[in-house]
Each structure stands twice: as C-alpha cells, then as structure tokens.
Amino acid sequence: MARVLAVQSGGCTAVINNSLVGVIEEARAVGVEEIYGARFGVRGLLGADFMDLGRQDRAMLGLKARFDKPGMMQRMSISLVSETDGQEADLVGRAGMRAALDGASGVMVTLVRLPGDAYHCTTGLAPVEKIAN
C-alpha cells in the first residue's frame, strides 16, 4: 500500500494551493491509498500533526486559502493568477508526486522551457543542493 505525506512551507498562495491539488490528484490517479498533509508545513512534520487529505471531497480541493500580508495580494489571489501559472503549479505538483512514488529523493521539480518561439514547458528534476544552497 502506497502512502504519501505532503509537506509545504512558505506563505499561503494560489500557486502553492494549485500545486497541492496537483499532488493529491496525481496520487489518486496512480492509486495511492493514503494521502496526508502536514499542518503548518515543517512545524506539522516535526510535531507529527497530519491531516488526511485523501478524504477531502474533490469539490473542497477547489477552495482557495486566504492569507493577508501587505505586498502579497498579487501572489495570493487566485483571481490574479495567470492561467499559465496555475497550469504550471498543477504540473509541478503532479511531477513531484510521480517523482516521489518513483523513489526520487534529494531533488526538486523544475520547469524546463521547450525550444521554440511560443512558450511551452515540461518538468525536470534538479538536486536540492544546486537550488537551496
């Protein structure tokens, strides 16, 4: 039986929300039976404070969290997120879920621009030490 624990940190933004939905939906799509989230990110991980995301109603996943901090309005309002940003956040969440299920560790999902005049991208993986140094 496959189990997943999703841990995110940082401010509550529309992009983070979309990537978490991508994680949950991809886990469901590949048959993961138990999907948990750490409440409050790393604090929840360290304190073993988890919630069962797998039991969340699909309609509930569409809800967007609110967090107010001056200067952050453009980053947290789902109404201001571009279609491309929303799609890429979902893509990153799904790619992260697949990488984790494949046993990847010590890597972060990246967006890799594809060649051509029109903007298109795919995902890749990069070592954490190259990104979060």
**Average pLDDT along the chain:** 79
Q: Which residue has the higher pLDDT, 112 or 27?
A: 112
Q: What is the pLDDT of residues 13-42, one digit of tens each?
A: 555 677 788 888 888 888 888 888 888 777
Q: Which of 102, 112, 110, 21 is nearest to 65 (CA)?
A: 21
Give the number of C-alpha atoms closer than 13 A to the C-alpha of residue 70, restricted to the C-beta side: 0
**The model's pTM:** 0.56
Place of tokens 């039976």: 33
Q: Which residues make beta-bridge pairs with 5?
A: 36
The CATH code for residues 3-103 is 3.40.50.450
What ranges do the domains of the chain cover?
A: 3-103
Least-confidence region, from 13-17, 105-109, 116-120? 13-17
Q: What is the mean pLDDT of residues 46-54?
A: 86
Which tokens belong to 81? 């997120």
Q: Write phi, then psi, for 111 (nearest 5 degrees).
A: -100, 130
Whether the pLDDT of residue 109 is over 90: the answer is: yes
